[in-house]
Every structure is written in structure tokens, then in C-alpha cells.
Amino acid sequence: AEDGYELWLRYHPLTPGQAVLYRGHTAELIIGSTTPTQIATRNELQRGLSGLLGQDLPLSETVTRDGAIIVGTAASSPLIAKLRLDIQSLGSDGYVIRNVIVDGHPATAIVGGSDIGALYGSFHFLRLLQTGQAIDHLDLHESPRIKLRVLDHWDYLNGQIERGYAGASIWDWWKLPDWRAPRYTDYARANASIGINGTVLNDVTGGATILTTTYLQKVAALADVFRPYGIRVYLSVRFSAPIEIGGLKTADPLDPQVRAWWRAKADEIYQLIPDFGGFLVKADSEGQPGPQDYKRTHADGANMLADALAPHGGIVMWRTFVYSQANKDDRAKQAYEEFKPLDGQFHANVLLQTKNGPIDFQPREPFHPLFGAMPKTPLMMEFEITKEYLGFATHLVYLGPLYEEVLSSDTMERGMGSTVAKVIDGSLEGHALSGMAGDANIGADRNWCGSDFNQANWYVFGRLAWNPTLSSRAIAEEWVRMTFTNNEAFVKPVVDMMMGSREAAVDYMTPLGLLHLMGPGHHYGPAPWDASESEADWRPVYYHRADRQGIGFDRSSTGSNAVAQYAPAIAAQFNDMAQTPERFLLYFHHVPWDYRMRSGQTLWYELVAHYTQGVDDVKQMRATWSHLHGYIDEERYQQVATFLAIQEKEAQWWRDACIAYFQSISGRPLPPGYAPPQ
């Protein structure tokens, strides 16, 4: 049965027409099998090639015929050393895939800067076959632009997942360290296939238990499984752990005993896990403990942990998602206000992990103003892969365009072209450390992600972490071909559907720069009317600020002045209602209902039109899918069809609820021809 377990690594037989393309180039496999990574690479190639081509490739020590595939590194293989391929500049994770001649025989060389590079190259080679590309004129040179490509799991030790919509955690803490479920290896394969090289196993708001010896042994077992695939483990740590599990009276980062406790804890971890990656920290945010509890700064806290890890080569990913004082005038400003003054104070092994936008993973936000504002500090991107605000498991929303929109935004930090991608890959300011994190959507469901299409969001995250300038459309196409079929009649409409899906969700949930209209707490479905509880800044009404005159949050110089956190040229643009891109209009301005939009319509009519457009787009997605019956297996086809029906019903719910509510505030008539709820 097609339960989606294989993800994009399906390796089902190619059609005879496709297989014929590869026949002359897949005659034998020459690959070392000394190290665990080499063995993993060989196993993957054998599994992939025999699955795709329907026959096993003979292993060989030397090139004996045309069409050999030679895999390895110059250091591990004299045959490869003799090829003298220039791969130095590509670094250890990089690789070259190239057609060469060996002893008169045409061959394909997959050469890594290290064993891991060769593993990445092998996955790339398999992808070429999976996506039906020619392999007879290859000269590919690849290396990752970002150093740390990390999944953050929000998994609690009791198996629950914060914002998880795909079942329970895949980490079976009760059976670890003895039972190493085969799924852990499949997890590592899937991640390595897209270049992910780190995983934070536990939630950022969990307790300190993970740092006890008992749990560290379990963590070490997972690290052992992941190591051959180039994946390091990291842990989220609770700032007050020295109190909770260390018996100390304080967690003050400048207290010598606290510092000694963390040093000893780091030493213990590295005894068990020599290549441990480091710590992720959520501090002084949403009730979490942190250095501010002791009147210290984020830099004091991060540096203390960094110093404990530094002797072992570990790093700290310190989150900038701080969000503490309920009555600040504008939540969007807090991170910049707290962190910007600390630029230059962080030790060399600290990255500041910053969410893509200033609020919280909304369907659309402008890029976070910290990108481009802290030149002396490596900023790490945090994207949310799990669709907390985007319809959980069932809504089909491909996040590639969201990620791409943020990465290609221009911060103007050093003039035009200072994109967010260049800030986070370190190239703009010459930082050696760089990183991208994705809050994982993985759970124990058979299909890992709660829906087949959610797998694409894990995939696109990994591909963009490898190279943040890739096109999300090209990535979608790769994924569709690998996950479903190479049949063009299927690929083209499905890629188009994916590419439009995020804008559809923006339209039926939060168009024109609105955000956080979701029901508080669960974040599913519309509740723009919600003004409950005293913490006013957590409620939808606080974000949209609709009144009789208009709607939107004034962040211009007449309002909270959050615009001033951007570079001057961008601030000037966002400060001016007429120049603000309409997709961000109500994020930056409180706009009269009768304001004329670029279309010539009033804001009120335009708002209604966007909501209706969102519903129409989902109807179109459903229609597209209904024409694709028969191209893929029945199981996955039917589930997608059913989920799209749910999405259409709920898009309609969003539209009707939001328009009814906003009309009760605006008092404006509905546009002529508006179809009321059925």
C-alpha cells in the first residue's frame, strides 16, 4: 500500500522508456566500504539503482567495462585521486559529479570532499535518475552555502509535539538507548538526501530532564544512528537547568558555580557524544527562564553556554523570539530592541536564531528587521515547517514561495542586493558560521508529516538550507517527480497548484498584511473577533485594529514606528501608505475602509475580493486534482482529494467568518454580486 512512508526516496521502477536512458551508464559500482558513511552510501546507491532500474549493479574494485560509477574521495580511493578533479574549493560537504574516461572506458565519478560529500553526491545522482534527467554530460559542482542546516523538533519527552500535526514524536525515549528503531535510520537518510546536517531533538520549552545522564545516553544512541549520515545532534536546554537538576540556588550566568556546572555538563555530553553539535536556547520569552531573571543580558547568557561548549567545538543557537511584556505598544519591535544593542558582544560560537518575520510564522509577514541590523553577529534563519498557522495537516500549502519571498527580500544593509539570503549565508558580512533551522513537521504518522503534500515542506526547507538562492518552483518540480511521477501531464498542473497554494491561504486567512486572526491558543480557524483575556496583545483584535474608520496596525511614524527598525530606504517606503506594497499594507498602516487601492477599488471591496479569491483558488486546486485521477496510486490520490475538500470547506469558513465580522465593524455594504454563505 502507498502510505507515503518512503517520502521522496521511493526508488520505484522507472518506465522502460526512462530506464533506457541510463542503461549505458550504470554498468558497475566502484565504491569503498570501510567507513560507516561509505557503507551507508553504497547501500543507498544499491537500493536506489536496483529499485529504479530493476536490476542489481555488480560491485567492482576496478573499472572493467563502459558505464562504471565511481564513488568516493581522493583520500580514500587511488582511482579517484588519479582523476585529479579539482574539488578543494568545494569544502568537505561538497562534491563533483562528472563523466570521465578511465582506462578507455566512459564512467561517472561522484567525488566528495569527504565521505559525507560523496554521500550527498550519491543522493544527487539518484535524484537525477528519479527526476528523469540525462546523465551523459555531467559536470556538476555543488557545495552548501549554509553551514548548519538544522531541523528543530518541538518534541517533548512524553511523546507529545508542540504544534505537531503528524502524530506523536518519533523518538521513543522509553525504549532508547537499547532499541534503535529502523525509522531513525530512514529519518537520517531522508535528511541526508537534502543536505540537512543537524537535528535538535527536543522542544525549546521543555524541562531540564534531557540533560540528565539517563537521557544523555539515549541521545547518544540516536547520535550513533545519525553519525554515518553526517547529522549531528543538538539539544534545547532550559536556562535554569543548574537549579532544576544541578541542585544550585541560582542560574545566574555570571555565577562561578553556574558556569562550572555548565562546563561539567558539556564535558559529560562530549564524553558520550564526541561530535555533539551544541545547544538551542529559548530564554526570557513566553515565560521561559533566562539571564534577564538575574539582570543579565542575552549576551551574558549565550556566552556562558558558548564558553562551556567552545573547548569541544560546540555552538549555541540563541533564539531572538522574545516576547515577554504583554503591554508593550507593539510586539513586533521587541526582538530588535533587545538584541540590536548587543551586536558585537556575542562570542564567536554563538548564532542568533531569528524567525523569518517579526511576529510569529504568519501566512505572510515582512522579513524580520534584525536581518541586516546586526552586522557583527551571525544571524541564523528559523522557518516553521509545521503549519501552525497554515491549516495544520489537511490544508495543502506549499511553503517554498514563503521561504523564497523572505530569502530574496532586500535588507539594504550594504546597499541594494543585501538579501536576507546573503545575511544568513554569512557572505554579506564574511561570517564563518551560518545556519538555517526549520521547525520540523515530523511525527509518527506513517507518512511522517500528516499529509503527503506536507512532505514537500520538509523537502524544500532542506534544499533551501543547502542553497538559499534556489527557486521554490524548481524544488517543487523535483519533489513532485520523486514523490509521485515523472508524467508531464501530472507534474505541470501539480507544480502550478503548489506554487499558488500559499497565496491562496494568505487570501482566505489573512490578506493585505493582516495576521494572527486565528483562534487563540490552537491557531486553527478564524476568530478575528476574539478579544478575550487581559493580555491584549495576544488577541486577534489587537493585531487587526479594525474600527468604524478603517483597519490595520499603524506601525508608521504616526504609530508604533516599527518601520524605523528597517534600513532607511526601506523604512521610508514602508512608512508611506502609497508606497507600501499592498501585500503588507495593513501590517504597516491603519487604512480607511474607503481608501482607493491600486485596482481603483476601495479597501473594503478589495478585502472582500481577496477572501473570495482564496476560496476560488482552493476550488481550482480541487478541480485540478480531480483531473489527475489515475496518474498515481489510489491511496494517496484519495487522501489528497479528501483533504482538498476539507480545505475548501474551511476556506469558505474563513471567508464567511471574516467578512461577516469585518462588515459588522466597517458597516459597509457587500460588493454587488457577492455570493453569501451557502
Cell 507593539 belongs to residue: 330
Least gap, CB of 156 to ligand GCW (angstroms): 10
Nearer to ligand GCW, 11 or 524 (CB): 524
Q: Whole-angstrom distance between the N-terminal and C-terminal Cα of the chain?
A: 38
Per-residue b/e over 55-74, b at no fewer than 16 CB within 10 Å?
Answer: eebeebeebeeebbbbbbbb
437 sits in which H/E element: strand 435-439
x/- site string to ligand GCW, residues 549 to 578, per CB under 6 A? ------------------------------
In angstroms, the CA 483 to CA 241 distance is 43
Q: What are phi and psi of 313, to 5 degrees?
A: 85, 15
Nearer to ligand GCW, 204 or 436 (CB): 204
Least gap, CB of 295 to ligand GCW (angstroms): 23
Nearer to ligand GCW, 202 or 434 (CB): 202
Q: Which of 384, 388, 425, 530 is catalytic?
A: 388
Please, what sign has the CA dihedral across residues 268, 270, 273, 274? negative
In angstroms, the CA 622 to CA 381 distance is 33
Query: Which residue type sits at 514?
Result: L
Nearer to ligand GCW, 98 or 282 (CB): 282
Nearer to ligand GCW, 220 or 317 (CB): 317
Least gap, CB of 532 to ligand GCW (angstroms): 17
Nearer to ligand GCW, 93 or 388 (CB): 388
Q: Which of 28, 115, 307, 360 binds ligand GCW (CB under 6 A)?
A: 360
Least gap, CB of 523 to ligand GCW (angstroms): 7
In angstroms, the CA 384 to CA 399 distance is 9
The torsion angle over the Cα atoms of residues 485, 486, 490 and 495, rounded to 10 degrees, is 100
Nearer to ligand GCW, 360 or 425 (CB): 360
Does residue 162 bind ligand GCW (CB under 6 A)? Answer: yes
Q: Which of 139, 286, 488, 634 is catalytic?
A: 286
Does residue 154 bind ligand GCW (CB under 6 A)? Answer: yes
Does residue 163 bind ligand GCW (CB under 6 A)? Answer: yes
**Residue 78 grid cell:** 587511488
x/- site string to ligand GCW, residues 370 to 409, per CB under 6 A? ------------------x---------------------
Does residue 343 bind ligand GCW (CB under 6 A)? Answer: no
**Residue 369 grid cell:** 528587521
Least gap, CB of 187 to ligand GCW (angstroms): 21
Residue 338 among the catalytic residues: no
Nearer to ligand GCW, 439 or 507 (CB): 439
Least gap, CB of 83 to ligand GCW (angstroms): 47
Nearer to ligand GCW, 154 or 588 (CB): 154
Q: In sequence order, what are the residues at sequence separation of 6 or more whose Cβ sits closer than 8 angstroms to the Cβ of residue 350?
A: 302, 303, 306, 315, 316, 318, 377, 378
Least gap, CB of 670 to ligand GCW (angstroms): 34
x/- site string to ligand GCW, residues 306 to 335, per CB under 6 A? ---------------x--------------
In angstroms, the CA 42 to CA 60 distance is 12
Does residue 282 bind ligand GCW (CB under 6 A)? Answer: yes
In angstroms, the CA 145 to CA 90 distance is 10
Is residue 27 within 8 Å of 34, Cβ to Cβ? no
Nearest Cα neighbor of 151 from 119, 92, 194 is 194
In angstroms, the CA 590 to CA 583 distance is 14
Does residue 204 bind ligand GCW (CB under 6 A)? Answer: yes
Least gap, CB of 319 to ligand GCW (angstroms): 7
Query: Which residue type sits at 197?
Result: N
Is residue 474 within 8 Å of 396, Cβ to Cβ? no
Least gap, CB of 367 to ligand GCW (angstroms): 17
> What is residue 462's three-state secondary structure?
helix
Residue 388 among the catalytic residues: yes
Tell me the β-bridge partners of 236. 280
**Residue 665 grid cell:** 465593524
In angstroms, the CA 118 to CA 368 distance is 36
Q: Determine how many CB atoms are found less than 10 A away from the CB of residue 299.
A: 22
Residue 286 among the catalytic residues: yes
The residue number with the shortest CB distance to ligand GCW is: 360
The torsion angle over the Cα atoms of residues 231, 406, 645 and 613, rounded to 10 degrees, is -170
Site residues (CB under 6 A) for ligand GCW?
Answer: 154, 162-163, 204-205, 282, 321, 360-361, 388
**Among all residues, which ones are annotated catalytic?**
286, 360, 388
